[in-house]
Structures are given as C-alpha cells and as structure tokens.
Amino acid sequence: MDYADARKRMVDGQLRPSRVTDPRLLDAMRDLPREEFLPRAVRARAYADEDVPLPGGRALIAPMAIARLVQLAAVRPGDRALVVCAGTGYGAAVLARCGARVTAVESDEVLLGLARPALATCVPAGTVRLEQVNPTQGFAGSAPYDAILIEGEVPEIPSAIAGQLAEGGRLVAVLGGGRRNGVAVLGRRLGGSVTTTPSFDCATVALPAFAPAPGFVF
C-alpha cells in the first residue's frame, strides 16, 4: 500500500470537504504516518473514513473527526496542551506538529506500547511528554494548559480536568451517552469558570475510563 498517497487522498477527500482549513493541521496530517500508530494487523485501515478499533475497547479516531477536534482547540505555536486518553499517541503527535508542547496521559499499557515507538519516530524529541496515569485526573504536574483535548467520548467533563485549563484556554471533548451520537463541545475558561458550547456532531467510541459507575439494583 502506498501510504503517502493514502495520506494525500485523506487530506483532499476527507479533511478539506469537512471544513478543515488550518494549513498547519493539513500539513501535519499529510506528513504524519498514521499507520505507525496502529497494530500491524490493521494498518491497511489507517486512512479509512472510520474509527479503527484498538485493544481495550478503544479506537483510533477517524481522520475527519480528529482533525476537526484539533482544529477546534485552535492551538498556537508554544501552547501547552494536554491530551487525555491519548491512546497510541496520534492526536498528541498532530498537536505537536502544529506547534504545541504536549503532555499526553494514558493508562492502558498495550496502547502505551504502541505510542512510545510511534512518537519517538514521528515527532521531535521533547515535544510530547507521555505519562501513564489515571486519565480521569488529567495531569496537574504540568498544568495549567492552554488547550486540552479529551480523545474520545465522555459523559461529562470531570472538574479535575477542567480545573487544569489556563485562563483563556480551550478544552475540546465529545459529550455523549455511549451510543456513538456524541457532540463535540468547546469549553473556555473565562473569569475563572469554564463554559462549554456545542460545535458539531461527532460519532466516536466512548472512553471506558470515564464510564459511570453502575448503580445499585434493588
């Protein structure tokens, strides 16, 4: 498979028609070898217009969806960014290629085993800090962040993560009930509080780490 040609067709056929216009983002996704962030058995699906399943009930988010989420975060060169549930590291790599200094948090050892070599190969050393922690708590050690991306669907934005957003910062997440009918939202911290507004429909896999605890049944 000609992956370079597939990347070009992904940008021209999926991203541009979906109102992805940031030239830095388009260049990043045209250059980054998305297949490196996948297990070998599914690399042929790297540039399909769909989520690609990963171990542990996770997924590499479809190209169009991750592009629109990153564009919504509106990162500027030098911004401090946090990626929550970074998975195999593709979203973190895209943000780094757009000029952000990225802290990426993930708890799944199998996904981290894919992320470490992919990031080492695809982004300059020191641009992405990968941490194995409970993703629902973010990473306070590098806060505050100018941009936060939660890479998957969650039922709500935890206060622990919202609290790590800098004044004037942007937080991007997909809110939904686990039925792949989520809505991408943009949160902003202004005057000390974070408010969110819906942006676009975004169907993607719910993050198991954020699943509500089951209630008692009588």
Domain boundaries, given as residue ranges, for the chain: 3-209
Predicted confidence at residue 78, as pLDDT, reads 96
Predicted confidence at residue 212, as pLDDT, reads 81
Alpha-carbon distance values, 82 to 52, 153, 162, 175 (Å): 22, 16, 11, 18
Q: What average pLDDT does range 69-95 have in this prediction?
A: 98
**pTM given for the model:** 0.95
More confident residue, 215 or 172: 172
Q: Which CATH architecture has domain 3-209?
A: 3-Layer(aba) Sandwich (3.40)
Predicted confidence at residue 208, as pLDDT, reads 95
Predicted confidence at residue 180, as pLDDT, reads 76
**Cα dihedral 109/118/24/68 (nearest 10):** -40
